[in-house]
Amino acid sequence: MAKVLFINPIVREEDVPRHVPYGIALIAAITIKKGHQVQIYDHNAWRQPPEVVREVLEADDWDVVALGGITTTYGSIKSLVTQIRAVRPKTTIVLGGGVLTSLPREMMTWLPAVDIGVVGEAFQTFPDILEMFDSGQKDFVKIPGTISRRMDGGLVMGPPRTLLRDLDSLPYPAWELFPLEEVYFHNSEHLFSVEGMLAKRRLDINMSYGCSLICRFCYHLGIAGDLRYAKNDAGEDDVEFDKPGSYSRDIRYHSPEYVVKLVKYAHGRFGVDFIGFLDENLMTMDVYSGRTWLKEICRLWKEYGLQPSHLRDGTALTEHWSGVHWSGTSHATLCTLEILREMRSAGCAALVYGYESFSPQVMKRLGKGATPTTNIRSFFWSLEAGVRPIPNMIIGFPSDDFDSIRASLDAWKELGIIVRPHFATPYPGSEWFHVYRKSIEAQYKGDLEKFILDLGDATKITGVISHNFNAVELLGLRELMLKFDYARIDEYEALWRAHHRIPEGAPSTLYQDPVPLKLAS
Amino acid sequence: MSGVLKGNYKAKKDVKAETKADDLESRFERQAMKRLGGSIAFVAKRKVNWDKKKD
């Protein structure tokens, strides 16, 4: 059986490590279940210098070193694979996750040390790679969901990998192989709620995969049915994701029993007092299940004794409670007051809402299925239910203009929202990456890899997709928004209009839809 | 010092490292970064060559 070293690359270097990588923890558990020898070096948690990484690479005779992560881990992955190849010239290097899946050909080109890429979901692909490795063969192209190298150095993709149907067949994540006590539990604090602030032993869980909505800035890592195979401009096999008028989705979720038993296990084995649900959108799953899924999870949460004691007893929250609080993601249009109340009663402390904007025209163009009205409705429903709404906001959408900025400011003021908005960022795999790729490349002087290295969590500006504002303008406007400085925004609008020669009475925008947009009155 | 490798078997060699929680310098820089602005400024020591001689 293969001897496998998993390495978790660094993500968000500016922050402390907060999240055990759920995907790697699951793949490690699957690999162990298949009988392989597994070690994990969590580079994001330990953040050790190259000398220690070298010691790790020399600590055993690894057959395979496997890495993966989201796109923003690319910088760390690039440096790691270079070092792995230098220290272990004959070890097979496998790369997976969203970073590889969004741009498989580019990644394999930029990272010549990588032998095999896992395109899309790795639950079945990675064990298949190890099985082939054990058999002494190297014909990886036969394995669905791979990209590998031919003898002549060219890249070759295996057939598409179908998604795992029975998610409950997955083993529990191998959390015990990560530095929970040494690192992660020290960073349990989750500043979305008082309960989150008080968390001392937090872990995260993904109880569903995918989202039925088509937000044009969103990327679903190739595990939401969003990944398709197609020929690229050079006639080679390649991947494609959402593009205008072409969307595909596959909704999958664990059973409520699996979810709650997993939480019970985490609570019992690791003393977990808070769970962060990583799901893209809990409400889309709930709707898909006919409004039974979340209700049943909440019921079982109580039945398994996980309901926080203060909610069970109807007393005030103090620093001492038993049970498990949790948080997750909601959707402005798809949530209901009834389910929010159920969730609160079971221990839900906060829900992240991607409100994004309070401008009708911007929201209509997002593909989110929400409006300023449903944003506001969900905000008050959440407060009424006792769940703290976390309003995520973004500026710099393609059609954002002075009016949309003022619409968001008005809503922040009215609702008491204090927020530092993200910048609309065209992550690879999203529809807007597809649409604006040439413009993004031009902003990085034709070097797409530079853009990938520049990407962060959208709190800083990278590739600009706004038709009206450049990077400098967006940075300035965000600062003025933070101060609710309407006067200076108005003043700049006059300058902007003069600069762009927009006549009196015409709207302050350069944006034009390919097809005119119909807005509801 | 903690072992940075964790697995389902014992690797040939142990690799030990100090946990970041013990690193006061990092802790200070992180806290200072949160309040950066106004009179709060700091020198990130790791980005400076402290041995550089004066011209």
What are the pLDDT digits (tens) for A259-312? 999 999 999 999 999 999 999 999 999 999 999 999 999 999 999 999 999 999
| CB-based contact A291:A239 (threshold 8 Å) | no
Rounded to an integer, the average pLDDT of B23-45 is 74
Torsion angles phi and psi, residue A380, rounded to 5:
-75, -35
Residues 6 or more apart whose Cβ sits within 8 Å of residue A496: A402, A473, A508
CB spacing of A52 vs B15 below 8 angstroms: yes
SS3 per-residue string spanning A327-364 = EEECCCCCCCHHHHHHHHHHCEEEEEEEEECCCHHHHH
Closest-CA residue to A149 (of A137, A139, A159):
A139
| CB-based contact A5:A65 (threshold 8 Å) | yes
Torsion angles phi and psi, residue A6, rounded to 5:
-95, 135
Angle, helix A293-303 to helix A256-270, in steps of 10 degrees: 40
Q: Which two tokens stand for residue B1?
A: 């010092």
Q: Which residues of A touch B14 (CB under 8 A)?
A: 59
Q: Quick check: B51 pLDDT over 70?
A: no
Q: Quick check: A453 pLDDT over 60?
A: yes
Amino acid letter, residue A304: Y
Note the pLDDT tens digit of each residue in A10-59: 999 888 899 999 999 999 999 999 999 999 999 999 999 999 999 999 99
Q: Quick check: B44 pLDDT over 80?
A: no
Give the pLDDT confidence score for residue B50 in this predicted structure. 59
For residues B53 and A493, give the distance between their C-alpha atoms in angstroms, rounded to a whole number. Answer: 50
Give the pLDDT confidence score for residue B17 in this predicted structure. 86
Percentage of chain A lying above the pLDDT 70 cut: 99
Q: What is the mean pLDDT of chain A?
A: 96
Closest-CA residue to A77 (of A316, A102, A143):
A102
Give the pLDDT confidence score for residue A305 in this predicted structure. 98
| CB-based contact A106:A74 (threshold 8 Å) | no
Give the pLDDT confidence score for residue A514 in this predicted structure. 76
Rounded to an integer, the average pLDDT of A212-226 is 94
Give the pLDDT confidence score for residue A516 in this predicted structure. 73
For residues A277 and A176, give the distance between their C-alpha atoms in angstroms, rounded to a whole number. Answer: 19
DSSP three-state, residue A246:
strand
CB spacing of B4 vs A38 below 8 angstroms: no
Pairing of strands A348-356, A325-329: parallel
Interface A-B, measured as beta-carbon pairs within 8 A, has a size of 64
Give the pLDDT confidence score for residue A41 in this predicted structure. 98
Is the reported ipTM for this assembly greater than 0.85? yes
Q: Is A270 on the interface with B (CB under 8 A)?
A: no
Task: Pick the residue of A3, A34, A39, A57 with the most B CBs within 10 A to test the interface with B by mutation.
Answer: A39
B21 pLDDT band, cuts 50/70/90, is low
Give the pLDDT confidence score for residue B19 in this predicted structure. 63
A450-A451-A454-A456 Cα dihedral, nearest 10 degrees? -150
Q: Which residues of B touch A460 (CB under 8 A)?
A: none
Note the pLDDT tens digit of each residue in A53-105: 999 999 999 999 999 999 999 999 999 999 999 999 999 999 999 999 999 99
Global confidence as pTM: 0.94
Strand partners, A157: A147
Amino acid letter, residue A426: P
DSSP three-state, residue B54:
coil
